[in-house]
Amino acid sequence: MKKIACIVKGYPRLSETFIAQEILALEQAGVDIIIYSLRHPTDTTVHPVHKKIRAKVHYLPEYLYQHPIRVGKALFKSLFNKHFYTVFPKFIKDLLRDLTPNRIRRFGQALVLFNEIEADREWLYVHFLHTPASVARYASYLTELPWSCSAHAKDIWTSKDWDSREKLAEMKWLVTCTRSNTEHLKALIPQQSKVTLLYHGLDLSRFPTPVSFSGIDGTDHNKPVRIVSVGRAVSKKGYDVLLNALAQLPKQLSWTFTHIGGGPLLDDLKAQASNLQLKDNIEWLGAQNFEQVIMHYQAADMFVLASRIDKNGDRDGLPNVLMEAMTQKLACIASNISGIPELITDRENGILIEPEDTEALSKNMAELIQSPELRQQLGETGYKTVTEKFSLEANIQTLIDRFR
């Protein structure tokens, strides 16, 4: 098995369980991993899976000016590396096309990685095609180590094609988690075999047995139908659309909505909910750890995610939270964008709506609130889908084989 340096944007992160479960699965298969993170953690808690990971974690300087000695030592060592005079012109070419402090920071982090990487590493493996892959690309020249990438969503769709194309040309291979991602990236390069579809999958052993269905139908105000959603409060998640749809539900229906997740738009969403007179129906819980999220899945009757394609092209890939909800036999409503239709077939194992369609979202939520039988049917079929086709066990072997 390869001894790899795994480069990530931040570690550990509550919103990136898929990365943690992959690292743990690779470790359990015998891959020797050291994690190099571009940022320190900002979450105040971690998931249980993080506690099981044995890999050492090294933090690269998030802001170069705060670490002048580390950066200076790295630059000095790099000047005596023959490959510096190959990679530096490539960096300057990139900088002229992307004249940002971020581009300079990534080159500086690559120099530090080269200077501080443990000598026995054999491979660079990076999560996300945008900034972390820039660090890996530059560091690959200096270390003379091959590199590969796992690409996801925002990193693909907000990157410039020239940037993605040049990275793809130089890396050994790339895996990505949806067919739409795969098709987009393959179209950028002639060597299409470099790009492989690989679903994240879920480690189903981490999830408890689903609880029984409640059977409530929204007619008893003492027993409201419980709607839950998990996701960061950012534009691409469409929570403003979801709030407007909740406001359009028939007044006689009894329901509550629980949101789990942090994010920069949280205060705006709370203000919107107050303006829509939904304040008494909604619980805002902020970021939660895995056990707490599971508890709320099990207490809920349905799950909703109103994702959209953002103005800058950012979008969801195949959200893990949808698969997680399906492990608990929750009926799910979601937007038919990106990789979501690869998981959900409309009216078979969930409900798909057009993004931004407030009326359709509200109509379908009202139907599920009033129909426990339909919720049960969709929940049962969704559970079968996720356990048979989207388990970690069914998908991780492809990645393990790459590191043999």
The structural domains of the chain, ordered by start, are 3-198 (3.40.50.2000), 205-389 (3.40.50.2000)
Mean pLDDT in residue range 343-360: 97
**Would you say residue 376 has pLDDT above 90?**
yes
Distance separating alpha carbons of residues 24 and 38, to the nearest angstrom: 20
If you average pLDDT over every residue of the chain, what do you get?
95
3-state helix, strand, coil in the chain (%, to 5): 50, 15, 35
Mean pLDDT in residue range 190-217: 92
Q: 97 to each of 44, 102, 116, 164, 185, how far by Cα in Å?
A: 37, 12, 29, 13, 20
Residue 170's pLDDT is what? 97
**Would you say residue 17 has pLDDT above 90?**
no
pLDDT above 70 covers a percentage of the chain that reads 100
- Print the SS3 string covering 149-177: EEECCHHHHCCCHHHHHHHHHHCCCEEEC
> Which pLDDT band, with edges at 50, 70 and 90, does 225 fall under?
very high
Distance separating alpha carbons of residues 10 and 132, to the nearest angstrom: 10
Residue 394's pLDDT is what? 79
Residue 231's pLDDT is what? 96
Which long-range contacts (C-beta less than 8 Å, at least 24 apart) are formed by 396-399? 396/22, 396/25, 396/26, 396/29, 396/201, 398/175, 398/196, 398/198, 399/22, 399/26, 399/175, 399/198
Amino acid, res. 11: Y
In this prediction the pTM is: 0.84
DSSP type of residue 283: E
Report pLDDT digits (tens) over 143-183. 999 999 999 989 999 999 999 999 999 999 999 999 999 99
- Least trusted range by pLDDT, from 151-160, 197-206, 318-327: 197-206
CB atoms within 10 A of CB 362: 20
Exposure string for 291-303, b = 16+ CB within 10 A, e = fewer = eebbebbeebbbb
> Which pLDDT band, with edges at 50, 70 and 90, does 380 fall under?
very high
Residue 14's pLDDT is what? 86
How long a stretch of residues is the chain?
404
> Which pLDDT band, with edges at 50, 70 and 90, does 372 fall under?
very high
Distance separating alpha carbons of residues 260 and 288, to the nearest angstrom: 7
Distance separating alpha carbons of residues 41 and 37, to the nearest angstrom: 9
Strands, sheet with 123-127, edge to edge from the N-terminal-most edge strand: 56-59, 32-37, 3-8, 123-127, 147-151, 174-176, 195-197
Residue 371's pLDDT is what? 98
Distance separating alpha carbons of residues 92 and 98, to the nearest angstrom: 10
Q: Strands 225-230, 302-305: parallel, antiparallel or unpaired by DSSP?
A: parallel
Q: Is the peptide bond before 12 cis (omega within 30 degrees of 0)?
A: yes
> Which pLDDT band, with edges at 50, 70 and 90, does 395 fall under?
confident
Distance separating alpha carbons of residues 355 and 368, to the nearest angstrom: 18
Nearest CA to 347 among 371, 321, 325, 374? 374
> Which pLDDT band, with edges at 50, 70 and 90, does 45 fall under?
confident
Residue 27's pLDDT is what? 96
**Would you say residue 260 has pLDDT above 90?**
yes
**Would you say residue 48 has pLDDT above 90?**
no
Distance separating alpha carbons of residues 218 and 230, to the nearest angstrom: 22
